[in-house]
Chain A
Amino acid sequence: MFGWEYPPHITGGLGTACFGLTKAMVNQGDQVIFIVPKAYGDESTEAARVVSASDIEIDLSQQFYKDNWGDLSYIEVNSSLIPYVGLNDFYNVINNRVRTSTDITNLSNKRKYEFSGTYGSTLMEEVERYAMVAASVAKNYTYDIIHAHDWLTYKAGIIAKQISGKKLVIHVHATEFDRSGENINQAVYDVERYGMDNADHIVCVSELTRNIVITRYGQSPDKVSTIYNGANSLVYKDIQMEKAVKEKVVTFLGRVTFQKGPDYFIEAAAKVLKYDKNVRFVMAGSGDMLNRMIALVAKERISKNFHFTGFLKGDDVNKMYSLSDVYVMPSVSEPFGISPLEAMNANVPVIISKQSGVSEVLKYAIKVDFWDIDAMANAIYCLLNYPALSRMFIKKGKSEVESIRWEDSAMKLRNLYYKLLR
């Protein structure tokens, strides 16, 4: 399996999903080798054997590399639309706009590549390098099937397929249309399309994503199936925080990017605050829209009741949940969306957008269109003011999350593998 991240070093749902899936696969008896660009050494090894691409030696004198890459120089993608960018990276990007690309054939032939393993502006470069490492992995390990998670690893998957002749399954956790709306980054789209065209089968995390893959990437419906993510791998630490404010707290937790719809959250907040001042709204996370969001809060004159926390990690996330009375995920396009499940697991009622994959599986969640801020505001108000409603969500939410099992996903995936190998 090729993936871009693995717990605990994660920036989004991808790592969590890979962990849940591989763990369930190992439990049902499958063997998984998981290759990440950069292993820190503290990755959870309970599920899969995690191999760092940085540790794999590649021999550039081999004919294969010459055939595939030749004299290659990387083109950096000069775009502010960088997928999965954390706040730190974001400032790094801005501060180091000028970067030198390296021409690999100018370097010594035998070397290891140091991968940063995060999402930055040299991403395209790393994707290419990662694919080169894949070739080496493809030769030196034994396996029956190749499984590549998200576009960053598609090239790696294809190289591995070309070398080994094994079947390639690609797993679509998100598409460029989810990340950027209509203004897609053409280079990323091309990689995605290239991956899908060359895959033997495409797994999507929801029907929503499956439809995008079929309509926007021109894939045959027979080749695309949906396997929902599980939720029961979530470990919830029950951290009870004493609430320091007497008002109710409504939380947005996620990257502050176009995909997550933070602006709709703020507009809904403004609507609620017009009628009910006893509410505090929290936006936890960072991203390229953060500054604009701060400006929007100021423009709506609601900063007295609206708070930004920046990026939260680990225990802080759980603390945030324990302080929250309502969790909102107003994503414009969310292939799956694990965070509402985490919130439900922490006894927080959730409002999710209908444009999310997770809304296809959840019953105990209020679903609204992301653009329907009236409905969103209304749902927030009702959850805060009608205890019968929030009680029901708290009571049923947790058990529902536990019933969405990775074991089921792993079983479906295994059946799919068998079908492909037959």
Chain B
Amino acid sequence: MKSICFYFQVHQPFRLKQYRFFDIGRNHYYFNDMQNSWICKRVAEKCYLPTNKLMLDLIKQHKGAFKISYSISGTALDQFERFTPEVIDSFRELAKTGCVEFLAETYTHSLAALKSKKEFVSQVKIHSDKIESLFGQKPKVFRNTELIYSDAIGEMVADMGFKAQLTEGAKHVLGWRSPNYAYSHPYKDNFKLLLKNFQLSDDIAFRFSQHSWPGYPLTTEKYVEWLNNLDNPECVNLFMDYETFGEHQWKETGIFEFLKYLPSRVLSHSNFTFNTPSELAEALNPVDKTYVPYPISWADEERDLTAWLGNDLQDDAFDQIYEFEQNVRKVDDLNFWIDWRYLQTSDHFYYMCTKWFSDGDVHKYFNHYDTPYEAYMNYANVLSDFRLRLEDALVCSPLPTKEQMQEKIITKEPVAKKTTTKKSTAKPKQTKTKKSTSE
């Protein structure tokens, strides 16, 4: 079997608005609707809509021989629904062809896998539900935020019932081995790993329009020749941001022409087929186990987590946001869930990265803050307000606890004892709320 597996990441974060310290305690809406809708509309126009249309044409043209897969983050879906519903429609069209697979991920493109299993599992679950409700298919293959993976994460994902996970073909994990085969988890034997061929993926995603690159200009003829020159591959995993088409590589670079003619060239001049991740997970036998004790990702030269975590600002922000978990569960109010989860999106930590001081241009494209400090200050201010709200909500929620109390009393506890003790604890709470409101 020789197959090409296309996987595209579709993601938009809920960017924060400028949130100054004088907003703390006064202004409880954190997101920059204007900027988010503007970016969402712009990218829809330049990338999502034209590329989806092209994909649909290609799938129809090749009558089932051309297959692709997507992972669309929940935050992106929420923004499409709000700002550009036509993008959802075009993905639905693609879903109907049967040649498109949708993968599972964390709902808010978060780093929860590194911090809280409980939150990770519930985010994956609500994302899968969302995908099923929109596109009518239940995801079977998982990919984590930014392809972040470790043995521990793989175990959690396998336990959730997924067959396979996508991750980076990081050199320091593979060593001499090739990414062009399926691998398996060290002790979850049936859980397969599909690894990104970063050479061939990045030729399209990053180097396509780079004049200084020896491969420039990249043509389908050249690319298929490179594919044919690979040493006996079973699967070539081409994973990239969907925004590569029309947004990172502008229309004028010829990226759409390249994409338009690639499938027919592959099918006519090589014996590769196109397959989806779950088809590969079904068909391929793992050639070896991979051991990944420390998390890897697809970012930067290092292929590690340092784009999101590692400096004091990122670590502090990351610790703070997950400190709220217990109380958010306790309060269990939809408003808190939404804000808390949107604030977990990995992009917020990415903006705080300090390792790009020297060559910040590439990353500046994805970053609306001038400096990592601004990103941190804004985020920390938002968290301050969120903390105040959460504390207020904890104090102000004696009513549901009372009901729960009565339920308990009816079902389990002897009546007389409990009512008296609970009442005495409930009273100071009420006085507290009065105080806080009068202040």
Contact = CB atoms under 8 A, between A and B. Distances in A.
A377 B21 contact: yes
Interface in B349-396: 354, 357, 370-371, 373-374, 376-377, 380-381, 384
A98 interface: no
B363 to A, nearest CB: 14
Contact of B21 (A275, A363, A389): A275
Contacts of B316: 386-388
Given A275-B21, A366-B371, A388-B316, A378 B377 contact: yes
B371 A389 contact: no
A375 B370 CA distance: 13
Contact of B311 (A375, A381, A392): A392
Given A275-B21, A374-B20, A382 B370 contact: no
A410 B371 CA distance: 30
A38 interface: no
B22 A271 contact: yes
Contacts of A392: 311-313
Contact of B22 (A274, A366, A387): A274
Contacts of A378: 20-22, 377, 381
Contact of A275 (B22, B371, B374): B22
Given A389-B313, A392-B312, A366 B21 contact: no
A382 B312 contact: no
A386 B371 contact: no
B16 to A, nearest CB: 13
A391 B380 contact: no
Interface string A80-106: 000000000000000000000000000
A386 B22 contact: no
A110 interface: no
Contact of A367 (B24, B357, B370): B370
Nearest to A379: B377
Contacts of B370: 367
A250 B312 CA distance: 22
A395 interface: yes
B431 to A, nearest CB: 27
Contact of A382 (B311, B317, B357, B377): B377
Given A374-B20, A378-B20, A382-B21, A366 B373 contact: yes
Nearest to A375: B20
Contacts of A391: 312
Interface in B268-324: 311-313, 315-317
A274 B374 CA distance: 22
A17 to B, nearest CB: 25
A164 B311 CA distance: 56
Nearest to B371: A367
B373 A389 contact: yes
A382 B22 contact: no
A372 to B, nearest CB: 11
B392 to A, nearest CB: 18
B371 A382 contact: no
Interface in B17-62: 20-22, 24
Nearest to A392: B312
A366 B357 CA distance: 14
Interface in B235-275: none
Nearest to B319: A388
Interface in A329-376: 363, 366-367, 374-375
Contacts of B312: 388-389, 391-392, 395
Contacts of B317: 388
Contacts of B381: 378, 382
Contacts of A366: 371, 373-374, 377
A363 B357 contact: yes
A410 B24 CA distance: 48
A389 B317 CA distance: 10
Contacts of B384: 385
Contacts of A275: 21-22, 24
A299 B249 CA distance: 55
A14 B81 CA distance: 60
A387 B380 CA distance: 11
A386 B377 contact: yes
Contacts of A389: 312-313, 373, 376-377, 380
A386 B354 CA distance: 17
A388 B319 CA distance: 11
Nearest to A381: B21
A378 B313 CA distance: 16
Contacts of B374: 366
A239 B373 CA distance: 29
Interface-central residue, A366, A367, A375, A389, by most chain B CB under 10 Å: A389
A386 B374 CA distance: 13
A387 B317 CA distance: 11
Contacts of B371: 366-367
A398 to B, nearest CB: 15
A241 B100 CA distance: 68
Interface string A243-280: 00000000000000000000000000001001100000
A366 to B, nearest CB: 5
Interface-central residue, B24, B315, B373, B381, by most chain A CB under 10 Å: B373
Contacts of A363: 354, 357
A161 to B, nearest CB: 40
A386 B380 contact: yes
Contacts of A385: 21, 380, 384
A379 B18 CA distance: 13
A203 B356 CA distance: 29
A275 B20 CA distance: 12
A385 B370 CA distance: 21
Interface of B: 20-22, 24, 311-313, 315-317, 354, 357, 370-371, 373-374, 376-377, 380-381, 384
28 contacts: A275-B21, A363-B357, A366-B373, A366-B377, A367-B370, A367-B371, A374-B20, A374-B22, A377-B20, A378-B22, A381-B21, A382-B377, A382-B380, A382-B381, A385-B21, A385-B384, A386-B376, A386-B377, A387-B316, A388-B312, A388-B313, A388-B315, A388-B317, A388-B376, A388-B380, A389-B373, A391-B312, A392-B313
Given A363-B357, A388-B316, A389-B373, 14 more contacts: A271-B22, A275-B21, A366-B374, A375-B20, A378-B20, A378-B21, A378-B377, A379-B373, A381-B21, A387-B316, A388-B317, A389-B376, A391-B312, A395-B312
Query: Which 6 residue pairs spanning A and B have beta carbons closest together?
Result: A388-B316, A381-B21, A382-B377, A392-B312, A378-B20, A386-B380
